[in-house]
């Protein structure tokens, strides 16, 4: 395959993003890619995430496996590592004024996360208190790795700001720390899936959300729903925190039941399938595409089991028929509509009235 054909590299993203695009275009699985590459699936997955370095040998293998020249892949790797280094050097914060200027202060005040003060000294002190650090050096040590991880993800996302993402995650963690002190129990969470799925039938957010929190907390998972500041496009996030507890953060970004429950079970999937990794963020990027695909499949199949998937395609798309199908599936009509739209069986402007819509004031 000539370099100019099929390749549209985003130099700030890992080479794995380009490889993922090629695999998708050719309907090639990660397992098949690993076999052709002559490597294990673990290495192939690390390569797609940008964790494995492309050396001369790997560049030659990539050229033979997915196309492009050896020089293309070496250049792709070099440009990506340079972009990473540049991002790290640009990210260093040298003064309190610069730090404050880069935080989403207006939204932090609007949400009540910090006091509404005009005093620069008070504002600086309140922001340090918000992040639970004594000074900027401590903030750099504690939060710079998270900011870099967020910046690393911005290959295919919306307009995003790593500092806004870090701030949102911090507020979510502040809330999560008050919910449960139990260690994450994957077996208990797996066994709770039927009970959690039944809650998709409950219309009122005020009725089902306390039960979601209760069930998950008993499994060592703190579920929090918090708004996002400008620059943070996240719909959800999963983190394994200190002490062995886990957190699922949701932003209620789309405010419909199909999006809410799909995102929730997507995050649950990360805990059940990928709990050895500390951080997953749903922001539209593709740097963890293998894990994202696995979590998407888990969530979709939990909401609409395989035995009903054919009926999504073949059923009459009328209002009443979709409701009947939802009753058979044992979930809400909005979730059925959302999955039919996602799979292309309905247009995105069809039957949206069947989706339940949530409001922030319902959370209390």
Q: E strands within 63-142?
A: none
- Same structural domain, 115 and 259: yes
Could you say which of 276, 301, 326 is where a domain stops? 301
Neighbours of 114 (CB within 10 A): 19
247 in helix, strand or coil? strand
State which H helix or E strand residue 190 sits in: helix 186-198
What's the pLDDT tens digit per position in 122-162?
999 999 999 999 998 899 888 877 776 665 444 444 556 88
- Same structural domain, 100 and 210: yes
* Domains identified in the chain, total number: 3
- Same structural domain, 136 and 195: yes
Could you say which of 301, 332, 348 is where a domain stops? 301
Could you say which of 254, 276, 301 is where a domain stops? 301
Angle of helix 15-25 relative to helix 56-66, nearest 10 degrees? 20
- Same structural domain, 55 and 185: no
Contact residues for 77 (Cβ-Cβ < 8 A; gap 6+): 15, 53, 54, 59
Distances (CA, A) of 262 to 73, 222, 259, 330: 36, 18, 5, 15
**How confident is the model at residue 82, as a pLDDT?**
74
Name the band, by pLDDT with cuts 50, 70 and 90, for residue 4.
very low
- Same structural domain, 226 and 163: yes
- Same structural domain, 162 and 273: yes
- Same structural domain, 186 and 308: no
CA distance 345 to 338: 10
- Same structural domain, 318 and 240: no
Q: Please report whether residue 1 resides in a domain.
A: no
pLDDT above 90 as % of the chain:
47
Is residue 88 scored above 90 in pLDDT? Answer: no
What's the pLDDT tens digit per position in 240-298?
887 889 999 999 888 999 999 999 999 999 999 987 766 777 766 554 578 888 999 99
Is residue 208 scored above 80 in pLDDT? Answer: yes
- Same structural domain, 208 and 284: yes
Q: Please report whether residue 9 resides in a domain.
A: no
User: What pTM did the predictor assign?
Assistant: 0.72
- Same structural domain, 114 and 203: yes
Average pLDDT over residues 298-311: 92
- Same structural domain, 241 and 288: yes
CA distance 273 to 294: 8
Name the band, by pLDDT with cuts 50, 70 and 90, for residue 8.
very low
- Write the Ramachandran bin of 68: left for phi over 0, alpha for psi from -120 to 50, otherwise beta: left
Average pLDDT over residues 104-117: 95
**How confident is the model at residue 276, as a pLDDT?**
72
| Boundaries of domain holding 347 | 304-363
Q: Please report whether residue 8 resides in a domain.
A: no
- Same structural domain, 111 and 197: yes
> How long is the chain?
364
What CATH number does residue 77 fall under? Answer: 1.10.260.40
């Amino acid at each position: 395959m000539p370099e100019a054909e099929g390749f549209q590299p985003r130099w700030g993203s890992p080479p794995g993003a380009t490889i993922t695009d090629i695999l998708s275009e050719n309907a090639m699985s990660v397992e098949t890619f690993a076999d052709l590459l002559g490597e294990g699936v673990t290495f192939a997955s690390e390569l797609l995430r940008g964790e494995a370095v492309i050396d001369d040998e790997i560049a030659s293998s990539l050229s033979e496996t997915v196309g492009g020249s050896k020089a293309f892949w070496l250049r792709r790797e070099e440009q990506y590592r340079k972009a990473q280094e540049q991002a790290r050097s640009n990210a260093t914060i040298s003064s309190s004024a610069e730090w404050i200027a880069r935080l989403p202060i207006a939204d932090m005040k609007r949400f009540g996360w910090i006091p509404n003060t005009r005093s620069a000294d008070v504002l600086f002190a309140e922001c340090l208190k918000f992040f639970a650090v004594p000074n900027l050096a401590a903030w750099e040590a504690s939060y710079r790795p998270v900011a870099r991880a967020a910046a690393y993800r911005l290959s295919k996302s919306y307009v995003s700001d790593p500092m806004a993402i870090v701030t949102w995650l911090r507020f979510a963690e502040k809330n999560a720390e008050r919910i449960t002190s139990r260690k994450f129990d994957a077996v208990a969470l797996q066994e709770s899936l039927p009970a959690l799925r039944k809650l998709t039938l409950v219309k009122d957010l005020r009725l089902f959300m306390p039960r979601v929190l209760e069930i998950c907390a008993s499994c060592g998972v703190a579920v929090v729903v918090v708004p996002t500041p400008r620059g943070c496009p996240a719909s959800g996030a999963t983190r394994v925190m200190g002490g062995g507890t886990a957190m699922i953060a949701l932003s209620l970004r789309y405010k419909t039941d199909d999006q809410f429950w799909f995102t929730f079970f997507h995050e649950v999937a990360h805990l059940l399938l990928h709990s050895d990794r500390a951080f997953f963020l749903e922001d539209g990027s593709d740097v963890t595409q293998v894990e994202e695909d696995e979590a998407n499949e888990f969530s979709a199949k939990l909401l609409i089991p395989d035995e009903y998937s054919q009926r999504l395609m073949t059923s009459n798309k009328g209002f009443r028929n979709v409701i009947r199908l939802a009753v058979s599936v044992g979930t809400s009509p909005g979730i059925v509509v959302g999955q039919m739209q996602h799979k292309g069986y309905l247009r995105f402007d069809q039957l949206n009235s069947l989706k339940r819509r949530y409001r922030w004031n319902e959370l209390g």
